């Protein structure tokens, strides 16, 4: 009996310390992010036609502003009207994502209701502040993760000409730019010219994917500025001025690659990172 207890305890201890060791070893380079409950997915595109969750949030903010506005005017009727719709949308948080029901605090709504009934309008600003703190506590944990996961443009399934993967096309673009640089550095003008022609063509191909998402306000790619730089770059390739070539190539890389990477690639990378299995699951698998 005692022996089995000891064995049991030893095993427990070993398991615990193994767990502690994994965490300890990973601690310096591990960041735990809370991921939102899966129930939220249905309130976003593509599962839903609209970004329902986000629009409910906008309503909450507007309704709070209206309550504040009418509290200043001591307009009980309008406070009541806006508070009623606020309560309805506040409750929707828990209706849409049941596991988040515990994040809302109806006593804060009741407090404002009471102030309004008793004509204590001067109490309402402080009560709205408390409500804001309640909103903030959920936002601190989830706002940016949710915006990234559900609203950052998704490039996963985008292909060119129906079958070329975006990643492969990106790598081609990069190789073409680098080949121009290598060839101009080493005095191989014909190679540089050929790489330039390929690059111009690849950029035009890339420009076709913008329409996948920018349907209402088409994005020109290559833009006017890029086309101008391409013309200048092509001219410099006909002479052997390495400094000029380098300048135009650098300008092109910023206009045609870096600016888009700063928005679309960055947010897509974050989205991909957050969509991966949780850090804990990963930690344990290591």
Using rule CB under 6 A, residue 160 touches ligand HEC: no
Nearer to ligand HEC, 237 or 257 (CB): 257
Contact call for residues 85 and 59 (beta carbons, < 8 A)? yes
Using rule CB under 6 A, residue 209 touches ligand HEC: yes
Ramachandran area for residue 131 (φ above 0: left; ψ -120 to 50: alpha; else beta)? alpha
Cβ-in-10-Å burial (0-12, 13-18, 19+) of 251 comes to: middle
Nearer to ligand HEC, 22 or 209 (CB): 209
Using rule CB under 6 A, residue 210 touches ligand HEC: yes
Nearer to ligand HEC, 40 or 236 (CB): 40
Cα dist from 84 to 66, 80, 81, 91, 213, whole Å: 12, 6, 5, 11, 38
Q: Which positions from 39 to 78 touch ligand HEC by CB under 6 A, shown as an x/- string? A: --------------xx--xx-xx--x--------------
Using rule CB under 6 A, residue 34 touches ligand HEC: no
Nearer to ligand HEC, 7 or 101 (CB): 101
| Residues shown for the chain | 286
Size of the site for ligand HEC (CB under 6 A): 52
Using rule CB under 6 A, residue 173 touches ligand HEC: yes
Ramachandran area for residue 119 (φ above 0: left; ψ -120 to 50: alpha; else beta)? left
Contacts 24+ apart (CB under 8 A), 249-258: 249/177, 249/180, 249/181, 249/184, 252/177, 252/226, 253/177, 255/223, 255/225, 255/226, 255/229, 256/203, 256/221, 256/222, 256/226, 256/229, 257/173, 257/177
User: Which residues 115-144 are close enough to bind ligand HEC by CB under 6 A?
Assistant: 131, 135, 138-139, 142-143
Which of 41, 78, 100, 194 touches ligand HEC by CB under 6 A?
100
Cα dist from 163 to 157, 166, 207, 208, 268, whole Å: 10, 9, 16, 14, 20
Minimum Å distance from CB 1 to ligand HEC?
50
Which of 43, 70, 196, 268 touches ligand HEC by CB under 6 A?
268
CA distance 169 to 202: 8
CA distance 104 to 83: 15
Using rule CB under 6 A, residue 113 touches ligand HEC: no
Which of 30, 120, 130, 167 touches ligand HEC by CB under 6 A?
167
Using rule CB under 6 A, residue 22 touches ligand HEC: no
Q: Which residues bind ligand HEC (CB under 6 A)?
A: 53-54, 57-58, 60-61, 64, 90, 93, 100, 103-104, 131, 135, 138-139, 142-143, 146-147, 150-151, 153-155, 158, 166-167, 170-171, 173-174, 177, 206-207, 209-210, 212-214, 217, 219, 221, 256-257, 260-261, 263-265, 267-268
């Amino acid at each position: 009996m005692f022996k089995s207890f000891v064995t049991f305890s030893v095993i427990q201890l070993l398991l615990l310390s193994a767990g502690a060791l994994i965490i300890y070893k990973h601690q310096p380079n591990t960041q735990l992010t809370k991921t939102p409950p899966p129930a939220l997915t249905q309130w976003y595109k593509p599962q839903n036609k609209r970004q329902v969750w986000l629009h409910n949030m906008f309503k909450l903010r507007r309704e709070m502003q209206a309550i504040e506005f009418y509290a200043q005017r001591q307009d009980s009727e309008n406070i009541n009207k806006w508070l009623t719709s606020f309560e309805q949308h506040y409750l929707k948080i828990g209706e849409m994502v049941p596991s988040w029901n515990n994040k809302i605090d109806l006593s804060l709504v009741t407090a404002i209701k009471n102030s309004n009934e008793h004509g204590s309008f001067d109490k309402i600003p402080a009560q709205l502040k408390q409500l804001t703190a309640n909103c903030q506590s959920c936002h601190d944990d989830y706002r940016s993760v949710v915006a990234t996961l559900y609203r950052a443009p998704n490039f996963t399934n985008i292909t060119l000409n129906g079958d070329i993967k975006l990643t492969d096309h990106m790598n081609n673009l990069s190789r073409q730019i680098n080949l121009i640089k290598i060839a101009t550095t080493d005095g191989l003008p014909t190679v540089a010219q050929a790489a330039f022609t390929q690059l111009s063509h690849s950029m035009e191909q890339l420009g076709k994917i913008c329409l996948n998402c920018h349907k209402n306000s088409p994005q020109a790619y290559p833009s006017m500025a890029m086309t101008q730089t391409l013309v200048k770059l092509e001219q410099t390739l006909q002479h052997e001025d390495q400094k000029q070539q380098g300048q135009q190539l650098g300008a092109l890389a910023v206009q045609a690659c870096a600016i888009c990477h700063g928005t679309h690639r960055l947010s897509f990378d974050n989205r991909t990172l957050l969509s991966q299995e949780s850090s804990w699951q990963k930690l344990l698998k290591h």
